[in-house]
């Protein structure tokens, strides 16, 4: 039976834990737990941050008891709200060694484990396709091209086209190859909403950053139909695609935005210390001053602006991020947010620490930020809407100037020449995140720059030359940037026959100016230009009957 929380090692602490946590100094054979502080226990989630916190925290005993319970609850919350699924693929015993040597020892070792092995010279390998369990290697033999099928590949210093495929390992990863035999288990790390994707079914390519930053072939662009193709078996779960997705169409399945928002609530009145799984902290000794609480995450690259600003405003503190690598998207986000926080509060929002020395220094510097705490209900909101609402609070009534965004994080603005805009609303139809909206109650076209992805598709589809222009990669830190601004307005035109309002005055006049010269003074045809769809054929028919009497 699955129990919830286990703490193994009674002699490691000299104070009681919350009653929901079972404390043992000996592990039961049949004990199965959701969250544990010990690798040795039978648990679904190993949480090294618990021992790390206990060993290093300077909190009072009362706060330690409360915070240790929080650390268990955080892990349980992430588990409960995760949207990843378990998958597996069959892996047979065919292994291909790519080497210019005989590799006798390596071949014998694999044979002992039950693998069938062949060796191919790397000079003969042209391409690798497929995925673990179903790899296809294109080789050149004399003047002939052949496809060799295998389940896994051993290739030291393999080129990028090979390492992008799952199932390609170096010779020091033999234990992985052995463990994969029979079945390779994997998860879906990515959730995808095509409805707000800036690549999906667009007439021209205006996005595709996710595929560009993907280190594998987990995301591919199908340019003919403008669809994204996902291969979850090839995904490493790094999350780099999520931080560069402008609209939030991609989300991290192991920790979706909704789950992250729930987790931020545990950090009220605490200084968050973000620690990715790859940063081994079991033996890390560093002083955690009072109020510092660790947040363990899986992938290190998925954090975007809505994540970080939510965590900062809920905690009311700066964030320390302990990682030896910053992704392109998260790096741009941190730069932009730090610049904004410096303008408003005179402090950085995120303190990045790449090693122990930098971590110690960052922990000393980290503090609460007066006036920065803010709470909203994020349920049902998209990434851009969350960031807009939170940034609007930060700016308040101030004008903090502008900040430039960057290559991987895009915000901006647009201008519209109202005198040439006919309110055809092509731009509204093109905007799938509703930054541009039509308002029939007052015949206006409105734009909220703070949720615009800067995709430029509205500019592409606008039929009127020199009318709509996109301003790229800057955020205006003033109140008007977070409002629906009226960009164009017109009156409705009434049908000259029945009086029904059917289009804007400027659109009718625009079409009439184009068509009149083609009608060569034919008054009936010209009149139809000012008629609604129902009256046009009536006018033409009546004229025809009258003419033929």
Whether 60 is covered by a domain: the verdict is no
Confidence of residue 10 (pLDDT cuts 50, 70, 90): low
* End-of-domain residue from the set 439, 465, 489: 489
Domain end call among 128, 163, 186 = 186
CB of 48 closer than 8 Å to CB of 17: no
Same domain as 385, residue 339: yes
Residue 232 has pLDDT above 90, yes or no: yes
Task: Using pLDDT thresholds of 50, 70 and 90, give the confidence band for residue 1.
Answer: low
Domain hosting 173: range is: 89-186
Among residues 520, 78, 523, which one has the least CA distance to residue 266? 78
Domain boundary pick from 157, 186, 215: 186
pLDDT per residue as tens digits for the range 116-156: 999 999 999 999 999 999 999 999 988 889 999 999 999 99
Residue 459 lies in a domain: yes
Note the pLDDT of residue 509.
87
How far apart are the two ends of the chain, measured CA to CA in Å? 93
Q: What is the pTM of this model?
A: 0.88
pLDDT digits (tens, 9 = 90+) for 174-194: 999 999 999 999 999 999 999
For residue 224, pLDDT over 70 is answered with yes
- Specify whether 354 is located in the same domain as 229: yes
- Contacts with 173 (C-beta within 8 Å, 6 or more apart), sequence order: none
User: What average pLDDT score do residues 76-80 get?
Assistant: 96
pLDDT confidence of residue 262: 97
Note the pLDDT tens digit of each residue in 251-278: 999 999 999 999 999 999 999 999 999 9
CATH number at residue 459: 3.30.70.3270
| Arithmetic mean of pLDDT, 328-336 | 95
Q: What is the DSSP letter of 33?
A: E
The pLDDT value recorded for residue 11 is 63
pLDDT at 201: 94
Q: Taking all residues of the chain, what is their mean pLDDT, rounded to a whole number?
A: 94
pLDDT tens per residue, range 510-545: 889 889 999 988 999 999 999 999 999 999 999 888
| Shared-domain flag, residues 279 and 216 | yes
φ, ψ dihedrals at 92, nearest 5°: -85, -165
Give yes or no: residues 313 and 205 share one domain: yes
Residue 56 lies in a domain: no
Give the pLDDT score at 455.
93
My answer on whether 485 and 535 are in the same domain is: no
In whole angstroms, give the CA distance from residue 214 to residue 218.
Answer: 7
Evaluate whether residue 371 is within a structural domain: yes
Distance CA(483)–CA(451), nearest Å, equals 10
**Domain check: are 142 and 217 in the same one?**
no
Q: Indicate if 200 and 171 belong to the same structural domain.
A: no
As a whole number, mean pLDDT of residues 149-176 equals 95
In this prediction, residue 31 carries a pLDDT of 87
Residue 265, sorted as left (phi over 0), alpha (psi -120 to 50) or beta, turns out to be alpha
Residues 523 and 382 in one domain: no
What's the rounded Cα separation, in Å, for the pair 543 and 527? 11
128: domain CATH number is: 3.50.50.60
Would you say residue 433 lies in a domain? yes
Question: Per residue in 350-376, pLDDT tens?
Answer: 999 999 999 999 999 999 999 999 999
Whether residue 441 is predicted with pLDDT greater than 90 in this model: the reply is no
CA 173 to each of CA 23, 97, 183: distance values in angstroms, whole numbers, following the listed order? 37, 13, 17
Secondary structure of 272-296 in the HEC alphabet? EEEEECCCCCCCCCCCECCCEEEEE
Do 506 and 392 share a structural domain? Answer: no
CA 454, 456, 460 angle in degrees (round to 5)?
170
Q: Residue 524: how many CB atoms within 10 A of its CB?
A: 14
The total of structural domains in the chain comes to: 4
- Is 419 contained in some domain? yes
Q: Is residue 42 part of a domain?
A: no
The average pLDDT across 206-220 equals 93
One domain, residues 434 and 519: no
**Position 318 in a domain:** yes
User: In this structure, are 210 and 281 located in the same domain?
Assistant: yes
* 325 and 257 share one domain: yes
Mean pLDDT over residues 432-447, rounded? 93
Q: Are 187 and 232 in contact (CB under 8 A)?
A: yes
């Amino acid at each position: 039976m699955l129990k919830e929380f286990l703490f193994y090692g009674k002699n490691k602490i000299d104070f009681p834990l919350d009653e929901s946590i079972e404390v043992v100094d000996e592990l039961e054979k049949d004990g199965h737990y959701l969250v544990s502080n010990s690798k040795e226990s039978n648990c679904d989630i190993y949480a090294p941050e618990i021992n790390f916190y206990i060993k290093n925290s300077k909190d009072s005993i009362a706060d330690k008891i409360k915070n240790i319970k929080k650390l268990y609850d955080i892990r349980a919350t992430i588990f409960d709200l995760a949207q990843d699924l378990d998958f597996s693929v069959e892996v047979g015993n065919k292994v291909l060694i790519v080497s210019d040597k005989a590799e006798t020892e390596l071949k014998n070792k694999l044979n002992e484990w039950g693998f069938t092995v062949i060796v191919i010279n790397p000079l003969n390998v042209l391409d690798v396709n497929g995925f673990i369990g179903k790899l296809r290697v294109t080789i050149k033999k004399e003047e002939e091209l052949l496809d060799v099928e295998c389940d896994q590949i051993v290739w030291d210093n393999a080129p990028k086209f090979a390492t992008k495929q799952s199932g390609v390992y170096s010779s020091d990863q033999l234990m992985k190859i052995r463990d994969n035999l029979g079945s390779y288990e994997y998860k879906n790390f990515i959730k995808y909403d095509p409805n707000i994707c800036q690549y999906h079914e667009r007439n021209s390519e205006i996005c595709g950053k996710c595929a560009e930053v993907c280190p594998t072939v987990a995301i591919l662009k199908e340019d003919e139909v403008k669809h994204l193709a996902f291969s979850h078996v090839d995904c490493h779960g790094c999350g780099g695609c999520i931080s560069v997705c402008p609209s939030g169409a991609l989300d991290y399945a192991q920790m979706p935005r909704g789950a992250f928002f729930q987790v931020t609530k545990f950090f009220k009145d605490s200084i968050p210390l973000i620690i990715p799984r790859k940063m081994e902290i079991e033996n890390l000794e560093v002083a955690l001053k009072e109020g510092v609480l660790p947040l363990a995450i899986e992938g290190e690259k998925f954090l975007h602006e809505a994540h970080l600003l939510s965590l900062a405003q809920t905690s009311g503190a700066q964030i320390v991020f302990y990682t030896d690598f910053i992704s392109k998207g998260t790096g741009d986000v941190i730069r932009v947010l730090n610049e904004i926080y410096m303008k408003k509060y005179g402090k950085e929002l995120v303190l990045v620490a790449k090693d122990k020395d930098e971590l110690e220094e960052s922990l000393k510097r980290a503090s609460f930020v007066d006036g920065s705490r803010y709470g909203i209900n994020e349920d049902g909101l998209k990434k851009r809407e969350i960031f807009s609402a939170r940034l609007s609070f930060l700016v308040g009534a101030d004008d903090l100037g502008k900040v430039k965004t960057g290559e991987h994080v895009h915000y901006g603005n647009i201008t519209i020449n109202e005198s040439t805009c006919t309110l055809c609303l092509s731009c509204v139809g093109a905007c799938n995140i509703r930054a541009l909206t039509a308002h029939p109650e007052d015949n206006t076209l409105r734009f909220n720059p703070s949720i615009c992805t800067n995709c430029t598709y509205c500019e592409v589809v606008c039929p009127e030359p020199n009318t709509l222009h996109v301003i790229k990669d800057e955020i205006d830190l003033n109140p008007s940037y977070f409002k629906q601004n009226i960009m164009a307005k017109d009156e409705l035109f009434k049908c000259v026959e029945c009086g029904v309002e059917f289009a804007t005055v400027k659109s009718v006049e625009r079409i009439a100016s184009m068509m009149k010269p083609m009608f060569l003074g034919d008054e009936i045809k010209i009149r139809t230009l000012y008629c609604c769809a129902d009256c046009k054929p009536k006018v033409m028919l009546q004229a025809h009957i009258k003419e033929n009497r």
